Amino acid sequence: MRVFSGIQPTGAIHIGNYLGAIRQWIELQDKNECIFCIVDLHALTSPYDPAKLENSILEKAIVYLAAGVNPEKSVIFIQSQVKEHTELTWLLNTVTPLGDLGRMTQFKEKSKKFKENVNAGLLNYPVLMAADILLYQTEIVPVGEDQKQHVELARTIARKFNQKFGETFKIPEAKISETGKRIMSLSYPAKKMSKTDPSESRIDIFDSPEKIKEKIMRAVTDTGKSIKYDLKKKPGISNLLTIYSLLANKTIEELEKKFEKKGYAEFKKTLANAVIDALDPFRKKQQEFLSRDVYVKTILEQGKKRAQLIAGSTMADVRKKMGLS
């Protein structure tokens, strides 16, 4: 099956991105044809520093590699280097219902978050995402829960296009991890962990052991004393239990038992050590790839060529179907 997913290059990759998306990518790459993109064009819709973008992109390629994306099996490339993404976006805009775009949760949230810059790109963001997915005749899109609505819209757009112009696109399906689909912020357990929120609210996958400890010890917990999974009454502790369980490969029940008679402080200390251990290999690999930037750039260059071949072939079909020469 063809798999496609992407992450925006601005901001550091956190354990929400890892547990919600990247972990699924690693599992899928053995048996599927995977394409993983660094979606720099999407990142332009939120405030960013142009002088830092190139470096941010390279850092993300290193995250993909350090987290286990294997360039021998999967394609890794930069969205803006394959021009078909922007070309198809325009064409898909002509079949996308405007009302659907205004109803997207991410658009509503980001319009509030970046009040001073509610640009049209923010509204059209899901059309570019649909172009990313449909260009590659994608069947599976592994993402976190927050992106489900966008994948649904990509399905709608694909269906509309196929109806109007004839069978052209495969209808993709979102793949969402049951347990890691929504890791919450350490500071506001009611909100998802996010790249664009303050650093103390998230654990980045390359955070130092000291930082991890500090952030976990400061994480907002709930009233009461027990270490129990209860999303309604104990969202903070439940989120920490989920993180622990996924990173240390232990069940929530096992953890509840282990900490039955223990307090929050001891739980957090043990959790911090578990997170540090789980992320340690990533930090080591990051160091290795940082000193091999020519190798990383070569992978991106090869990825671009492989992506271009598929994207070019889909675009030729789309242009023909739409009556463009």
**Binding interface with ligand ATP (CB under 6 A):** 7-8, 11, 16-17, 19-21, 143-144, 146-147, 180-183, 192-196
Contact range with ligand LTN by CB under 6 A, out of 4-12, 68-76, 256-264, 276-284: 4-12
Residues acting as catalytic residues = 110, 192, 195
Q: Which is nearer to ligand ATP, 46 or 89 (CB)?
A: 46
Among 29, 45, 89, 147, binds ligand LTN (CB under 6 A): 147
Residue 183 burial class via C-beta count within 10 angstroms: exposed 0-12, middle 13-18, buried 19 and up? buried
Q: Enumerate long-range contacts of 281-284, CB under 8 Å, 24 or more apart.
A: 282/66, 282/67, 282/205, 282/206, 283/206, 283/208
Q: Which of 38, 129, 183, 240 binds ligand LTN (CB under 6 A)?
A: 129
The residue nearest ligand LTN at its CB is: 6
Side-chain-facing half-sphere of 136: CA atoms under 13 Å: 29
Query: By C-beta, is 59 or 132 nearer to ligand LTN?
Result: 132
In angstroms, the Cα distances linking 97 to 41, 138, 155, 158, 241 are: 22, 22, 13, 12, 41
Q: Which is nearer to ligand ATP, 148 or 319 (CB)?
A: 148
Q: Is 4 in the site for ligand LTN (CB under 6 A)?
A: yes
Does residue 143 touch ligand LTN according to CB under 6 A?
yes
Least gap, CB of 131 to ligand LTN (angstroms): 9
Stretch that binds ligand LTN, among 91-99, 126-134, 267-275, 285-293 (CB under 6 A): 126-134
CB 142 within 8 A of CB 5: yes
In whole angstroms, the minimum distance from the beta carbon of 139 to ligand ATP comes to 17
Shortest Å distance, C-beta 106 to ligand LTN: 7
86/268 Cα distance (integer angstroms):
46
Q: What 3-state DSSP class applies to 13?
A: coil
By CB under 6 A, tell whether 133 contacts ligand LTN: yes
Residue 59: closest CA among 206, 252, 275, 268: 206
Rule CB under 6 A: is residue 77 a binding residue for ligand LTN?
Answer: no
Asked if 132 touches ligand LTN (CB under 6 A), the answer is yes
Q: Nearest distance from residue 237's CB to ligand ATP, in Å? A: 17
Distances (CA, A) of 319 to 22, 80, 313, 322: 33, 20, 10, 5
Residues 205 and 217: their CA atoms lie apart, in Å, by 17
Pick the closer one to ligand ATP by CB: 95 or 239.
239
* Number of neighbouring beta carbons within 10 Å of residue 178: 5
Q: Please report, as ranges, the residues that interact with ligand LTN according to CB under 6 A.
A: 4-6, 8, 39, 42, 129, 132-133, 141, 143, 147, 150
